[in-house]
Amino acid sequence: MSYTKSALLPVTPDEAFALLTEPERLRRWQTVSATVDLRAGGAYRWTVTPGHVAEGTYREIEPGRRVVFGWGWNGDDALPPDASTVTVVFEPAEDGTLVTLTHEGLDEVQAAAHAEGWEHFLTRLEALARTGDAGQDPWAWAPEQLDPVTSSEAVLAAIQPMLRNLTAEDRERQTPCEHFTCHDLAEHLVASLQGLGSMSGVQVDDPGEGDLENRISVLAQQAIDGWRDRGLEGTVGEGEMAFPASFAAGILPVEILLHGWDLAQASGQTLKVSDEVVAYVTTLAESMVPDGRKRGSFGDEQAAAPDASALDRLAAYAGRTPVPVR
C-alpha cells in the first residue's frame, strides 16, 4: 500500500528542498536530531520522536526537484531500515512550492500508522514555512517509555527552541551556576557531552560551527546515539572508576536539562518540559546529586517557591536559585 499527501509551502523549491534535507531545518518540524549524507547511496538517521529512529539511504537526489529515500525504523523487524520508499517531489506553484510526498511499500497497518505520522509532520512543515516556527512537537512531550536514552532525547527537544532564541547579548549574562556566564556554561556543556559520549565508546566530534542550537544538538545526538547503540547493560570504566552503564547514561539527561534551565534563566526564557519527563530525570538526579555535592559538582539544596514548577523544584534540589527577572 502507499500514502500520498501534498502541502503548499510559501517558499521557493530550493528552500522547500532544504527544509526536508538539512538537519538544522529538519529539527524545526520533524526530528529531534538528524544526520544526513545527501547523495545517492548516502545514509540518514533521524530521531523523529524520542525512542523512534528512522533510518535508510538516499536513492535519488535532484536538488529543488525530487528526493527519493528508503524508509524504516531502527529495531523494527516489521519495517527495518530501507524496507519502504519515500518519494518527495517539489513543483513550482503560483504561491510557492507544491510538495508531494508518496510513501510506498507498506502493509495496511503500516500505511495507516504512517499516514497519521505524515499528516502530523506535514502540518508542522506548513506551519514552519508559513511562520518560521513550528513550535515544540507535542509528540516529543512525554514519551511512553522513559529511560536514559529517550529522556535525553525528550529534554534535548525541549531545550532546542530556547537555544535558538539566545542572542549575542546573552553570551556574557550570568547563569545560576556561580562563575559561569552563558558562554562559559555552553562550553562546559559541550565538554560534558563529549565526555559522556566517550563513555559509551564513541568519539563525539564538535562541529564548531553554526549557532549554539546546532552545536549542542549535533553533540548530543552523537552521545545519545552512542548509548542507544551500546545499550545500558554492564559497566563502564575500570577498577575504582567502574560503575553501571545505566548510571553513566543517566547523567546525560540530567546535564542537558539542568544546563538548559540555567541558560533559559540567564536569558529570561521559560523552559517548557513535561512533568512526566522532569519526574523521571529527577529520579536519576537523586541517585547522583548527593555524591556530586561532596565533589563540588552541585551546590546545597535550595528552598523552592511554594508555587514552583516541577522543573524549578529539580533545579532547587540541584542547588540552583532562579535568576531575578530583568
Distance of CA 231 to the CA centre of its chain: 19
Residues in the chain: 326
**Pairing label, strands 235-236, 243-244:** antiparallel
C-beta contacts of 52-56 below 8 A and 24+ residues apart: 53/228, 54/81, 55/81, 55/82, 56/81, 56/82
Q: Does residue 45 contact residue 53 with C-beta atoms inside 8 Å?
A: yes
The CA dihedral of 73, 74, 80, 83, to the nearest 10 degrees, is 50
The CA dihedral of 227, 77, 85, 44, to the nearest 10 degrees, is 10
> What pLDDT, on the 0 to 100 scale, is given for residue 238?
79
| Residue for grid cell 535558538 | 164
> What pLDDT, on the 0 to 100 scale, is given for residue 325?
63
> What pLDDT, on the 0 to 100 scale, is given for residue 243?
86
Q: What does the block give as the cell for 318? A: 540541584
> What pLDDT, on the 0 to 100 scale, is given for residue 274?
97
The CA dihedral of 28, 141, 144, 288, to the nearest 10 degrees, is 100
Work out the number of other CB atoms within 10 angstroms of the CB of residue 296. 7
Q: In angstroms, rounded to a whole number, what is the distance separating the alpha carbons of residues 73 and 33?
A: 15
Q: What does the block give as the cell for 31? A: 526530528
Q: What domains does the chain contain, in order, with CATH numbers? A: 2-131 (3.30.530.20), 142-317 (1.20.120.450)
End-to-end Cα separation, the chain, in angstroms: 56
SS (H, E, C) the chain: CEEEEEEEECCCHHHHHHHHHCHHHHCCCCCCEEEECCCCCCEEEEEEECCEEEEEEEEEEECCCEEEEEEEECCCCCCCCCCEEEEEEEEEECCEEEEEEEEECCCHHHHHHHHHHHHHHHHHHHHHHHHCCCCCCHHHCCCCCCCHHHHHHHHHHHHHHHHHCCCHHHCCCECCCCCCEHHHHHHHHHHHHHHHHHCCCCCCCCCCCCCHHHHHHHHHHHHHHHHHHHCCCCEECCHHHCEEHHHHHHHHHHHHHHHHHHHHHHCCCCCCCCHHHHHHHHHHHHCCHHHHHHHCCCCCCCCCCCCCCHHHHHHHHCCCCCCCCC
Walk along the chain (326 residues) and give the pLDDT tens digit of each residue: 899 999 999 999 999 999 999 999 999 999 999 999 999 999 999 999 999 999 999 999 999 999 999 999 999 999 999 999 999 999 999 999 999 999 999 999 999 999 999 999 999 999 999 999 899 999 999 998 999 999 999 999 999 999 999 999 999 999 998 889 999 999 999 999 999 999 999 999 999 877 999 999 999 999 999 999 999 999 998 777 788 999 999 999 999 999 999 999 999 999 999 999 999 999 999 999 998 898 888 989 999 999 999 999 999 999 998 887 66
> What pLDDT, on the 0 to 100 scale, is given for residue 295?
87
What pTM does this model have? 0.95
C-beta contacts of 300-309 below 8 A and 24+ residues apart: 309/278
> What pLDDT, on the 0 to 100 scale, is given for residue 195?
95
Q: Does residue 152 contact residue 252 with C-beta atoms inside 8 Å?
A: yes
